[in-house]
């Protein structure tokens, strides 16, 4: 007797389990993975009250359409003019999109370095971090990044072509997305600096969870490797050789995928830091980063004068 075709009970139970995981448990999986991706640090973030840098910081806030208010800081070079009412072609701004842990208070050395290079520096904590309400997601951070850029132009009166985006680790995914979108609109930023960032969050997750079906379950993906080829502004990538969180090979691949030159002729640049890892890049290689960023900024400024 020829048996009728069908599904065995074991296979049927397996398919049901996959459906439960893929659909019934989908919201739970999303919440769990986002709890791992976004190491939120809620609570007040006071402006430093002591030290020379304290006088260079002022709080700023940005109200979003979804009732979330983002809180941040604008830090200015020592002795910089306080006249913010009109655009000035000699005023340069760095917007820092931070990594996935801590708050803006942990990025003071980076902000201070930007100021020492003659640039103003703007940083907002992500939604769900610091005093900010909401929960971080890729779509939320993407929309917030565009709003932050618009705030810098419309409220702080910086010229769009005098704004350099800097992404640190996870923030590299946010900054690359913004640079990509602005480039597609033919309004690219002045430059893009990537510090210890990944080719995509999928690739970064596979390093730490090789046994999981990352391609199938990961909801926030930040595919920078697919976007950076269309970024038309100057690009600087910096990565520590000893990085075990985001391997240096990912920074190298991201750099290789970027255009050889920006549309205004500035060649892409890569800084490899042998002695640094992921979280100690600024602490161990501050002088090297300062020199690389200073040279990068000067090249951008020279290109804008041509």
Catalytically annotated residues: 169, 243, 278
d(CA 263, CA 126): 31
d(CA 52, CA 65): 36
Q: Exposed, middle or buried by CB within 10 Å (0-12, 13-18, 19+), for 24?
A: exposed
| Angle formed by the axes of helices 108-116 and 281-305, nearest 10° | 40
d(CA 15, CA 264): 54
Task: Report the alpha-carbon angle 296-302-303, nearest 5.
Answer: 90
Q: Under 8 Å CB-to-CB from 137, ≥6 apart: which residues? A: 34, 220
d(CA 203, CA 64): 31
Give the C-alpha distances (Å, rounded to integers) separating 141 from 74, 123, 138, 195. 19, 13, 5, 18
Q: What count of Cα atoms within 13 Å lies in the side-chain half-sphere of residue 163? A: 27
Q: Exposed, middle or buried by CB within 10 Å (0-12, 13-18, 19+), for 131?
A: middle
Residue with tokens 């379950």: 217
Contact status, residue 170 vs residue 177, Cβ threshold 8 Å:
no
């Amino acid at each position: 007797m020829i048996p009728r075709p069908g599904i065995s009970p074991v296979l049927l139970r397996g398919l049901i389990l996959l459906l439960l995981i893929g659909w019934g448990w989908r919201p739970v999986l999303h919440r769990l993975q986002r709890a791992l991706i976004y190491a939120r640090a809620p609570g007040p973030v006071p402006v430093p009250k002591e030290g020379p840098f304290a006088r260079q910081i002022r709080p700023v806030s940005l109200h979003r359409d979804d009732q979330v208010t983002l809180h941040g800081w604008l830090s200015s070079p020592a002795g910089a003019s306080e006249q913010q009412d009109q655009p000035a072609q000699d005023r340069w701004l760095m917007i820092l999109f931070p990594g996935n842990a801590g708050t803006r208070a942990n990025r003071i050395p980076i902000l201070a370095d930007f100021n020492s290079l003659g640039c103003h520096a703007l940083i907002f904590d992500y939604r769900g971090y610091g005093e900010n309400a909401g929960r971080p997601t890729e779509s939320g951070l993407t929309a917030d990044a565009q709003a932050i850029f618009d705030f810098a132009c419309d409220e702080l009166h910086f010229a769009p072509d005098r704004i350099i985006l800097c992404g640190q680790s996870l923030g590299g995914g946010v900054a690359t997305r913004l640079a990509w979108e602005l480039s597609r609109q033919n309004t690219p930023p002045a430059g893009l600096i990537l510090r210890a960032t990944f080719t995509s969050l999928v690739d970064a997750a596979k390093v730490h969870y090789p046994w999981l079906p990352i391609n199938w379950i990961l909801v926030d993906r930040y595919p920078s490797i697919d976007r950076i080829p269309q970024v038309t502004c100057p690009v600087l990538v910096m990565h520590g050789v000893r990085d075990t969180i985001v391997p240096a090979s990912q920074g190298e691949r991201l750099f290789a995928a970027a255009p050889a030159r920006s549309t205004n002729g500035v060649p892409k640049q890569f800084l490899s830091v042998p002695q640094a890892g992921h979280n100690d890049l600024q602490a161990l290689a501050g002088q090297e980063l300062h020199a690389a960023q200073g040279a990068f900024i000067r090249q951008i400024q020279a290109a804008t004068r041509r």
